Amino acid sequence: MNFAITVFPGSNCDHDAYYVLKNIGFNVDFIWHKTRNLNKYDGILIPGGFSYGDYLRTGAIAKFSPIMKSVVEQANKGKIIIGICNGFQILIEAGLLPGALITNENTRFISKKVFLKIKTQKSIFTSNISKGTILKMPIAHKQGNYIANKQTIDQLKKNDQIIFTYCDNPNGSQQNIAGITNKNRNVLGMMPHPERASDSILGSNDGRLIFESILEEYK
């Protein structure tokens, strides 16, 4: 399975993601943000970091990079798209996921390990993880507070699009939301960093379960 990792000015988790995906068994390439064609890839990962220095609003400038037109096209074809932290913010700005990510409730940058609950197995990202499983992985963000209007929240619940929730909400996100998919379940956005929890030397390898689930389902 071929995975592209997008690289924006300010990306800083791209090498972490590359290491994990390669180690698990994916074919992986770094793809600079000015690239316009992603047709040969089965999946695309938009990593964390501070694309364009988070000027104006997190992800607001990155959505205009040439590569994002192709990311949207591939998402509409049903390709697997993952946005982690800043990547989640970019996917929302690009209109691939609903809602918004605003400043944490305590207005501070938060960097710590958190616990997530798997809310559904009905996604390629969690199909091999039992519902209710608790995963441990880090967060590192200031704008990770997920909000949406009541209609959007109701639709996310109705369509089983809420994939992860925080066990102890660190940022004030509505419904404790830590990660969601689009209605077609091929686009995932999440604030926690599974790529930073995919090797036991890091204190947790729970993040591997997400990537292994994708690879297993794709076979």
d(CA 194, CA 113): 11
pLDDT of residue 44: 98
pLDDT of residue 210 exceeding 90: yes
The pLDDT > 90 percentage for the chain reads 94
pLDDT band at 215 (very low <50, low <70, confident <90, very high): very high
The pLDDT > 70 percentage for the chain reads 100
Q: Beta partners for 117?
A: 134, 165
pLDDT of residue 200: 87
Place of tokens 């990079």: 65
This prediction's pTM: 0.96
d(CA 78, CA 117): 26
pLDDT of residue 219 exceeding 80: no
Neighbouring CB atoms inside 10 A of 114's CB total 21
pLDDT of residue 56: 82
d(CA 90, CA 116): 22
What average pLDDT does the segment 38-67 reach?
94
Mean pLDDT of the chain: 96
pLDDT of residue 23 exceeding 90: yes
d(CA 129, CA 210): 8
**Domain count within the chain:** 1
Q: What Rg value do the Cα atoms of the chain yield, rounded?
A: 16
Backbone angles phi, psi at 183, to 5 degrees: -65, -30
Burial 118-134 (b: 16+ CB within 10 A, else e): bbbbebbbbeebeeeee
Q: Which residues are known catalytic residues?
A: 85, 193, 195
Place of tokens 């605003």: 102
pLDDT of residue 212 exceeding 90: yes
pLDDT of residue 169 exceeding 80: yes
pLDDT of residue 40 exceeding 90: yes
Find the domain containing 73 and state its range.
2-218
pLDDT of residue 145 exceeding 80: yes
What's the longest Cα–Cα distance across the chain?
Answer: 43
DSSP letter at 218 equals H
Give the residue from 86, 100, 79 showing the smallest Cα distance to 47. 86
- Degrees (nearest 5) of the Cα angle 129, 11, 125? 15
d(CA 69, CA 21): 24
d(CA 69, CA 124): 23
pLDDT band at 55 (very low <50, low <70, confident <90, very high): confident
**CATH number reported for the structural domain that contains residue 95 in this entry:** 3.40.50.880
**Residue 214 host element (H or E):** helix 208-218
pLDDT of residue 159: 97
For 76, residues 6+ apart whose C-beta sits below 8 A from its C-beta are none
Evaluate the CA torsion angle 77, 45, 177, 103 in order and state its sign: negative
What average pLDDT does the segment 118-133 reach?
96
